[in-house]
Amino acid sequence: MVADIAYLQQTQQDIDQLQALLERQRQAYRSNPMPTAGQRQQWLKSLADLLVNEQQAIIDAVSRDFSNRSADETLLAEIMPGLHGVHYARKRVARWMKPSRRSVGMQFMPASAKVISQPLGVVGVIVPWNYPIFLAVGPLTAALAAGNRVMIKMSESTPATAQVFKDLLAKIFPEDLVAVVQGEVDVGVAFSKLPFDHLLFTGATSVGKHVMRAAAENLTPVTLELGGKSPALVSDSVPIKDAAERIAFGKSLNAGQTCVAPDYVLVPQQRVEEFISAYREVVQGFYPSVQNNPDYTAIINERQLSRLKGYLSDAEARGAKIVPVLPEGDGRRLPQALLLNVDDEMKVMQDEIFGPLLPIIPYKGLDEALAYINERPRPLALYYFGYDKREQEHVLAHTHSGGVCLNDTLLHVAQDDMPFGGVGPSGMGHYHGHEGFLTFSKAKGVFSKPRFNAAKVIYPPYGKSLQKLVYKLFIR
C-alpha cells in the first residue's frame, strides 16, 4: 500500500513537472513567436556540430542499450542521415519562410493575398527505441526549422541513449527551446496527454491509437509514424542475386528492428529455392559469424527477444518450415531465419515482425501477388524488384503504401527531398525536408485590401443595379 501511494505521488510529480516545462516553453514562444531565419539556421548549425563532435558518445550509448549495436549501423542509419537532414533544412529554411503570393479574383480587386508560414508553438515528439537518435533528430530538425519549441520523450527502453542525448542537447539549447524527457511508460502516457500544438509519435500501430486518443482530448493535431508489414515483391524476371542482396541488407540492418524493414517477401513459386540459396549466401557474406561479431546488432531487450522466439515457436507448431540462415548467436544476437509454409493463423504473419525473421510467400502471377498485398492493411513501405518499367508502373498504380523503393530497400527514408509518412494503419501525416517544415507550421492566409473599397457595391440593401451587374459578370 505504501509503495502504491509512493508510486502515485511520483507519477503526479512527473505530470506536474511536464506541465511546468510545457508552460515554460509556451512563455518562451510567446516572447519570440516568429524566430528569424538566422536564428533557426544557428539552431540547426549547433545541432549539426553536436552530431559531428559527439558521435562516439552517441555510438557508445546506443550500443549499451542494445547490449551490442554495430557502430557502423549507428553511423549509417542514425548520425549520417540525421546530419544530412539538418544540413538540408539549414540551407533552405530562409526560402521556406518566404511568404507565398496567391492570386485574387477580379471580383475582389483591388486586393492582394499571401500565405505566411507561422510556427505552431510547442511541438511534442515521442521517440521509439529502434533508432533513438535519428527518430529524435529528424522531427527536431523540422520543428526547429519551422521556428518551434520542442519537447522530446525518449523511449524507456534506451535509457543510456536518452541520458546522453539529454545531456548533449542541454549544452547547446536552453530547456525552454529544446527539452528531453525521460521516464517509464506512465511518463509517456502523461506526455501524450499534454496540450501540445502538434504531437509526432513514432512507434507501434497499437500504441499509436492510444496516442491519437489522448491527443484528441486537447484537439492536438498528430503525425503518426507507425509501421506494419512492409512487403518485398520479387518479379519473375529480375536477377535473383540483385533482389536477394538488397532485401538482405534491408532485413539485416539493426537486426531487422526497423519500421520499414522488409517484413515478408513475395517470390515467384518457381524461384523460391533460388532465392533462399542467394539470400543465405549474401547474409553469410555479411556475417561470417554471429557470436562476438561487433557488426551483428543484438535485439534491444529480453522482452523483444522472447517475442521473436515466440513467433518462431508458434510458426513451427503450426506447420511452418524454419530455414536457418546463420548459426546460433550469443547473448541477444538472434540469428536470421527464413520461414516457409506460413499462413495468416501464425503470429509471425499477423504482427509486424521487427526482427531478423523473413517469411517467404510464393506466388504464381503478379496480379496474385498484388492481391495478396492489397488484402492486408496498407504498409509503411513497399519494395518491388524488377527492371521492367511497365511492370513498375503497374505495381505503383495498383498498391497503396507510405513509400516505395524500386529495386532497393530502406533508402527512400534517407532522401531529404521526399516526404516520409504512412497511410492508414501505417500512419498519417508527413515529415522530412520541406514537408516537415510544413507539418510544423501554420499556413496562414492573409487577404489585404487598400483604402479604396470596391466591395461596397455588394453591401446591402440588395437589388441595386451595380449588384445585378456583378451577378451577370461573375455568376456564369
Sign, CA dihedral 414-415-421-423, equals: negative
Q: What are phi and psi of 23, to 5 degrees?
A: -65, -35
CA distance linking residue 127 with residue 420, whole number of Å: 16
- CB-CB contact of 191 with 18 (8 Å): yes
Cis peptide upstream of residue 294 (ω within 30 degrees of 0): no
Q: Which of the following is catalytic: 78, 245, 259, 352?
A: 259
Sign, CA dihedral 324-279-72-427, equals: negative
For residue 442, the cross-strand partners are 118
DSSP reduced 3-state for 270: helix
Percentages helix, strand, coil for the chain (3-state, rounded to 5) are 50, 15, 35
What is the residue type of 148?
A: N
C-alpha cell of residue 443: 499556413
- CB-CB contact of 255 with 406 (8 Å): no
- CB-CB contact of 175 with 24 (8 Å): yes
What is the residue type of 187?
A: V
Query: Between vectors from CA 418 to CA 413 and to CA 424, what angle results, nearest 5°?
Result: 70
Q: How many CA atoms lie within 13 A of 43 on its CB side?
A: 25
Q: How far is CA 99 from CA 38, 78, 96, 115, 288, in A?
A: 16, 33, 8, 5, 56
- CB-CB contact of 37 with 147 (8 Å): no
C-alpha cell of residue 240: 535473383
DSSP reduced 3-state for 142: helix
Q: Which of the following is catalytic: 73, 78, 225, 245?
A: 225
DSSP reduced 3-state for 381: strand
Q: What is the CA radius of gyration of the chain?
A: 26
CA distance linking residue 21 with residue 196, whole number of Å: 12
DSSP reduced 3-state for 236: coil
Q: What are phi and psi of 251, to 5 degrees?
A: -85, -25
CA distance linking residue 261 with residue 413, whole number of Å: 11
Comparing CA positions, the residue from 259, 140, 251, 208 lying closest to residue 424 is 208
Residue 259 a catalytic site member:
yes
Q: Which residues are catalytic?
A: 225, 259
